């Protein structure tokens, strides 16, 4: 371990985090990491259980004299979003995350870091391992596949947990206490394509949008950053040379704002230079359009390869749909200033056997979530696409008067001298699903500063993790 990582504090938290970072744990491929979590519990001599989908539950009796206090569950998810920069050589199925320190932050090398939610898992394990901690009976629930379907929380069985209180350790803003979140639903759209031979005398070129900041499709959706898929559709629409579409792809995750997108087009050899000039102009247009909101947005052209092209009618329908589909904020909350109520993220597009589009719609209000999903269905139907809704999950209703909110606020005031900022978020948290199974359980969510989650710029504040740990310890001691 490099010396600049060996001296991080709190030592227990960072040791667990760095060990977890060495284990590949993409969503739906996190079984090895979940087994590692279970092994840590067994190594501490604690009771460990797993359920049918791979969630891990570790129980620890209360400290002497506190055995009969109401139990507290800590909860985090073991999977991570796997994003990397184009050109980064990294296999998320086999390679460890290459963690490095830059001053007071940790980040990865060309990939996501996995502090979302590796820090939460590490803090929960550290709380179980800390020998001097005074605590009530503890449970650590580590769920699987939070990022691509909330599978672990969705399949969680009622009656498994015994806790009265739940501390979700999956928040990313120090000094903020989350007590509510949005629900969501995925829309998967598909259309069959008529493929035709590549026209004789044509040249294949790849038109690429890259350099966008991307971000979390919930917490960053209001920031006005570029969606590379929609920028690419605008660029293709603005071309004034005839082209045939061979392929189009963009985005990697339905819950990440698309940072990159590209299309392979075939043009007459004599039109290639004109296309390059028009794309260069579009790059200037879009760099100016986003300005400081997303200063790296670039559109470029490079050689491509094509074995077939889509029919002209299919290509028009596809590009037109990408222009017409909603992306971004649809409605702000009328009740909570600054909170996005409803949004959608145009997350992933692919051309495989046919055309495929995936969107994630979020809202704290079920009616507006369904209404926006209906709008998406209608636009897709007009373009000849069929749609399927999958992965729907409920929101989490805020309860600002809950006793647990007061406990965490008191602990934060003692640490910082200021009240904690109580809020709801537009992103999804597992608390909504857990609350469905355990309606009497009081829940809150807090964590350290994690910036640019779901992107290769993800980084975590080292001093903030220390303060997060101090807060967690104090809350557990107060609940004892």
Domain residue limits, the chain: 3-181+395-479, 185-393
At residue 173, the 3 state secondary structure works out as coil
Q: 125 with 16: CB under 8 angstroms?
A: yes
Q: 373 with 412: CB under 8 angstroms?
A: no
Q: 29 with 144: CB under 8 angstroms?
A: no
CA 462/CA 115 separation, integer angstroms: 11
CA 286/CA 280 separation, integer angstroms: 10
Q: Which two tokens stand for residue 221?
A: 């959706």
Q: Which pLDDT belongs to residue 364?
A: 87
> What DSSP state is assigned to residue 67?
T
- For the four alpha carbons of 290, 291, 296 and 300, in that order, the dihedral sign comes to positive
* Mean pLDDT, each 10-residue run in order, the chain (480 residues): 85 98 97 98 98 98 97 98 92 97 96 97 98 97 93 95 98 95 94 97 97 93 97 98 98 92 98 98 97 96 97 98 97 87 96 95 92 98 97 85 97 97 89 93 98 94 98 98
Q: Which pLDDT belongs to residue 1?
A: 66
CA dist 21 → 96, 234, 356 (Å): 6, 39, 32
Query: What's the number of CA atoms in the CB half-sphere (13 Å) around residue 66?
Result: 18
Q: 326 with 333: CB under 8 angstroms?
A: no
Q: Which pLDDT belongs to residue 3?
A: 72
Q: Which pLDDT belongs to residue 4?
A: 84
CA 164/CA 183 separation, integer angstroms: 23
CA–CA–CA angle 332, 337, 339 (5° rounding)? 50
Nearest to 239 by CA among 195, 207, 198: 207
CB neighbour class for 182 (10 Å; exposed up to 12, middle 13-18, buried from 19): buried
Nearest to 86 by CA among 207, 211, 205, 204: 211
Q: 83 with 347: CB under 8 angstroms?
A: no
CA 330/CA 180 separation, integer angstroms: 19
Which of the residues are catalytic? 79, 146
Name the fold adopted by 185-393: Alpha-Beta Plaits (3.30.70)
Which CATH code is given to the segment(s) 3-181+395-479? 3.40.630.10
CA 250/CA 232 separation, integer angstroms: 9
């Amino acid at each position: 371990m490099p010396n600049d990582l060996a001296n991080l504090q709190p030592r227990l938290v960072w040791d667990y985090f760095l060990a977890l970072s060495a284990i590949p744990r993409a969503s739906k491929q996190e079984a090895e990491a979940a087994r590692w979590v279970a092994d840590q519990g067994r190594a501490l001599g604690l009771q460990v259980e797993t359920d049918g989908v791979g969630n891990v539950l570790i129980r620890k009796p209360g400290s002497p004299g506190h055995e009969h206090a109401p139990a507290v569950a800590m909860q985090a998810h073991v999977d991570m979003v796997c994003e990397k920069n184009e050109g980064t050589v990294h296999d998320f199925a086999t390679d460890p995350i290459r963690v490095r320190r830059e001053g007071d932050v940790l980040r990865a090398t060309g990939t996501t870091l996995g502090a979302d939610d590796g820090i939460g898992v590490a803090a929960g394990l550290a709380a179980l391992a800390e020998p001097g901690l005074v605590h009530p009976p503890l449970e650590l629930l580590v769920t699987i596949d939070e990022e691509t379907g909330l599978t672990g929380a969705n399949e969680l069985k009622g009656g498994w947990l015994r806790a009265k209180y739940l501390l979700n350790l999956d928040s990313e803003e120090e000094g903020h206490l989350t007590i509510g979140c949005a629900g969501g639903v995925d829309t998967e759209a598909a259309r069959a394509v008529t493929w035709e031979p590549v026209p004789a005398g044509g040249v294949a070129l790849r038109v690429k949008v890259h350099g966008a900041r991307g971000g979390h499709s919930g917490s960053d959706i209001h920031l006005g950053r570029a969606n590379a898929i929609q920028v690419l559709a605008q660029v293709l629409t603005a071309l004034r040379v005839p082209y045939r579409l061979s392929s189009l792809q963009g985005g990697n995750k339905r819950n990440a704002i698309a940072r990159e997108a590209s299309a392979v087009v075939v043009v007459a050899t004599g039109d290639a230079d004109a296309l390059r000039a028009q794309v260069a102009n579009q790059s200037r247009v879009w760099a100016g359009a986003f300005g400081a909101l997303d200063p790296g947005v670039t559109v470029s052209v490079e050689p491509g390869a094509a074995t077939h092209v889509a029919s002209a009618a299919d290509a028009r329908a596809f590009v037109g749909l990408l222009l017409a589909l909603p992306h971004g904020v649809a409605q702000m909350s009328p009740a909570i200033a600054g909170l996005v109520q409803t949004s959608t993220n145009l997350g992933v597009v692919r051309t495989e056997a046919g055309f495929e589009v995936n969107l994630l719609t979020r809202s704290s209000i079920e009616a507006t979530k369904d209404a926006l999903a209906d709008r998406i269905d209608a636009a897709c139907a007009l373009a000849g696409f069929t749609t399927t809704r999958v992965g729907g999950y409920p929101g989490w209703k805020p309860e600002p008067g809950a006793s647990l909110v007061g406990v965490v606020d008191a602990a934060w005031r003692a640490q910082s001298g200021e009240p904690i900022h109580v809020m709801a978020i537009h992103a999804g948290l597992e608390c909504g699903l857990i609350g469905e199974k355990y309606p009497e359980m009081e829940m809150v969510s807090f964590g350290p500063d994690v910036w640019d989650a779901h992107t290769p710029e993800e980084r975590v504040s080292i001093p903030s993790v220390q303060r997060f740990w101090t807060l967690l310890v104090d809350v557990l001691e107060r609940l004892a």
